[in-house]
Amino acid sequence: MKTRRDYLRLLIFLVTSCLADPALAGQAMQTINIATSAAGQSGYIAALIENKKLDVKYGIKINNMMMDFTEAANAVKLGRTTASSMQPSTAVNLVKSGTDIRLITPQIWSGNSWVVRKDAPYKSFGDLKGKKIGTPEYAMTAGVWIRGFFSDDYGVRAQDMKWFLGGQTDPGRKERVKLDLPPEISVQSIPDDKTLNGMLESGEIDALISARSPSGLGDGSGKVRRLFPNYKEVEIEYYKRTKIFPIMHILVVRKGVYERHPWVARSLFKAFCDAKNRAMETMHISNAHAYALPWLLSLVNQ
């Protein structure tokens, strides 16, 4: 069972993977095929690198291969891509299973959804003890962090709830990694013809934990609600109290590439940092906002 101790080990890997000097003099340009999600931060950053040619000065050429984030791990595992953006929990499992990857850099990402039926009496994690909890995959990073919140802040352990796994909007989703859990943790797959969204609305499960907001929050049905309506304040309070901002995605590169060209890890890291800084700079432009948010500058300054 993965804990946040696994993530501390992961961060050690991240540091050691970036220690190699680029030593670009005399090195041939290396092409990096990177798998990213079109809807995610990593996809936006990689596209910015590609469009602005921020990678070339570091001796690499990035080809951004957009795909669903659930396919990114398989792409790098099977060797179809050189590098990939993926969840830390997926990376930990790939390393443990012997996949030849090296971990490069964290990408901080939030957006977890803790959702219950609107007519349910639950007001905190503690109220979910003994309840049926749905989640697309038990090993997904959002779930790992949230189970830590359950335990640390409310004394509710993973074995104090029953876990139901499956597709959130489309039926048939399966766990991508082999689970090796203690027997006291109850985990079962939902029927192939059902979805977690549907089971939450019908009352077959009591709550849903996912990185994606369920359809019921935005379709006007009024059947579901967030566990914490003031989730922004709750997340800010948690950060101020713990100084932890959950890492949701990281970058990985295939071990063979890293061993032949160790400077590639640092070059990829620097290219992403350049693109991130460029993106942040555009948010401070006041005469033409980078995004269609009228209070963008206020949010950036905050």
Tens of pLDDT, residue by residue over 15-33, are 444 444 444 445 667 888 8
Using the 3D structure, point to which of 242, 257, 282 is the last residue of a domain.
242
Residues 74 and 136 in one domain: no
Residues 80 and 150 in one domain: no
Residues 57 and 80 in one domain: yes
* Average pLDDT of the residues in 192-209: 93
- What integer best gives the mean pLDDT of the chain? 80
pLDDT tens digits along 56-77: 778 888 888 877 766 777 787 7
Residues 162 and 227 in one domain: yes
Host domain of residue 226? 113-242
Residues 88 and 201 in one domain: no
The 10 Å Cβ neighbour count of residue 52 is: 12
Phi/psi of residue 34, nearest 5 degrees = -115, 130
* Prediction pTM value: 0.75
Residues 130 and 238 in one domain: yes
| CATH number of residue 227's parent domain | 3.40.190.10
* pLDDT, position 132: 95
Burial tier of 208 (Cβ tally within 10 Å: 0-12, 13-18, 19+): buried
The structural domain count of the chain equals 2
- On whether the CB atoms of residues 286 and 63 are closer than 8 A, the answer is no
Residue 221 has pLDDT above 80, yes or no: no
Residues 35 and 48 in one domain: yes
* pLDDT, position 220: 65
pLDDT tens digits along 129-170: 999 999 999 988 888 888 988 898 889 999 999 999 999 999
Using the 3D structure, point to which of 242, 264, 291 is the last residue of a domain.
242
Residues 254 and 196 in one domain: no
* pLDDT, position 196: 95
Residues sharing a CB contact under 8 Å with residue 133, sequence separation 6 or more, in sequence order: 161, 162, 163, 164, 205, 206, 207, 208, 209
Calpha distance 185→206 (Å, rounded): 17
* pLDDT, position 219: 65
- On whether the CB atoms of residues 274 and 65 are closer than 8 A, the answer is no
- On whether the CB atoms of residues 209 and 134 are closer than 8 A, the answer is yes
Residues 170 and 276 in one domain: no
Which of 45, 50, 20, 19 shows the shortest CA–CA distance to 32? 50
* pLDDT, position 43: 66
Residues 44 and 65 in one domain: yes
Residues 120 and 212 in one domain: yes
Least confident among 36-45, 141-150, 157-166, 188-197: 36-45
Calpha distance 73→142 (Å, rounded): 16
Residues 90 and 24 in one domain: yes
Residue 49 has pLDDT above 70, yes or no: yes
Residue 53 has pLDDT above 90, yes or no: no
- On whether the CB atoms of residues 119 and 113 are closer than 8 A, the answer is no
